[in-house]
Structure 1
């Protein structure tokens, strides 16, 4: 299990070095039928705070695009200790931990109004050259602006060779596309969760999700989601792979589910 994320000290939680935090409300459109924040909403909070930190440091979306650069998600690991509920006020924190070669490493925390940590996560990002559509090295100036070193962490390479027990197809819609011109990262999570058997969704709660993003997909394509359910001691693990029409793997996902208390 991932240990509690360690954040650098900051004064007042505003941009101090690589640390940034922001308050969010859990709105009606953020929650599921239980009134819990959806996993995709949690991921959206993480995306949003990273965006705001970059904007505050002068390295926002428009600046990156003008320099023919974009950050893309490579790996995610999110652990939910308690789901935020409808109407809650949250503090979301991020720490731009380090940048090395083509990659950037971020920690995330979500705290409730009492300061309790209820969600934690880690993200690994790849810097993309928009003209060449391939990875590029992180400029030294960017490391300086974020005040981060070459610190890093390891995120799992997920199993891609499992024997699938179920599959489902989805068409890529225009609304699925983000500013980088490909499917938004949260859409892969939606597809992976959509195939989870209803019995698991009703009797269990997802406690962790890991995602490996491998290949981009654009509007107009159809993806196939394949999954296998694995029963472990005190949890259920659902392994998922997402493929394009040529059977090329686009993403791998692994969700952990614990019995509802």
Structure 2
């Protein structure tokens, strides 16, 4: 069987926008995950299909670039497709379009399979690995390599894990991690600049009752780059590592 891509339509809702009236990055990531879910369901390898086998999909990494953010009530289409496979890694790409095919943003992602009982990563099951990956278009560069380490945090916040932070896999949902990372940034940065690029790696899970420490600092001498690190206060494990790149709002639609 060959993989095929899918397309899902969304309308930006009022609870998904910032003070500029534009969709937030966590909202956009949620759209992409919903589109991925729909596409994998069509292919017979959705999270529900895996859960029947005691397995589940886990997002390991996502690299996003936004050219323009959609605004409140704007209709968008998220196209997604399996773009490649390497050992235990499954790659999936996304592109976000307006109704007149303006490309708003694009992303590539890396997915793994986890045993829901043992909470351990496992090999991709045969019914998925047997599927021929046919991207249908040029894949985006795979998200690989290490990110620079955050050495000395400039700002830090503690986030208790509560009931509504937990997803179907019974751990903190990745969009909540992203939100916590961005919320720790300086207020003046959030007010004066806009997130252009994001590279985020999800390294470990946290569960109900944990406390997550979110730290951030500028990256090297580039005033538009910030390094992020989320860790578990209970276990000391590094949960998330990310780098964000920002642009000024001059000449941007707001």
Q: TM-score, normalised by structure 1?
A: 0.88
| CA deviation string 1:46-75 (max 9, x = no partner) | 110111111122222322111011110111
Pair 172,99 (structure 1): closer, same or farther in 2 beyond 3 Å: same
Residues 24-33 or 214-223, more deviating: 24-33
Structure-2 separation of matches of 1:57 and 1:161: 39
Partner residue, 2:111: 125
Aligned residue-pair number: 244
Q: Extract structure 1 runs of 4+ deviating beyond 3 A.
A: 149-152, 230-233
Query: CA shift at 1:231, angstroms?
Result: 6.7
Structure-2 separation of matches of 1:80 and 1:228: 22
Structure 2 residue 133 is the aligned partner of structure 1 residue 148: yes
Residues 170-179 or 235-244, more deviating: 235-244
Q: TM-score, normalised by structure 2?
A: 0.90
Q: Is the 8 A contact 1:99 1:149 kept in 2?
A: no
Structure 2 residue 48 is the aligned partner of structure 1 residue 62: yes
Pair 81,117 (structure 1): closer, same or farther in 2 beyond 3 Å: same
Q: Is the 8 A contact 2:5 2:82 kept in 1?
A: yes
Partner residue, 2:14: 28
Structure-1 separation of matches of 2:134 and 2:77: 25
Structure 2 residue 179 is the aligned partner of structure 1 residue 190: yes
| CA deviation string 1:79-122 (max 9, x = no partner) | 11000111111010001112332211000000012101111001
Q: 2:122 aligns with which of 129, 133, 136?
A: 136
Partner residue, 1:248: 237
Q: Secondary structure at the match of 1:217?
A: coil
Q: Secondary structure at the match of 1:49?
A: helix
Which consecutive unaligned segments of at least 5 residues does structure 1 have? Answer: 1-15
Partner residue, 2:69: 83
Q: Is the 8 A contact 1:89 1:112 kept in 2?
A: yes
Residues 36-45 or 54-63, more deviating: 54-63
Which consecutive unaligned segments of at least 5 residues does structure 2 have? Answer: none
Q: Please show how residues 1-261 of structure 1 align to structure 2 within 5 Å.
A: 17-145=3-131, 147-148=132-133, 153-230=142-219, 232=221, 236-245=224-233, 246-261=235-250
Q: Secondary structure at the match of 2:217?
A: strand
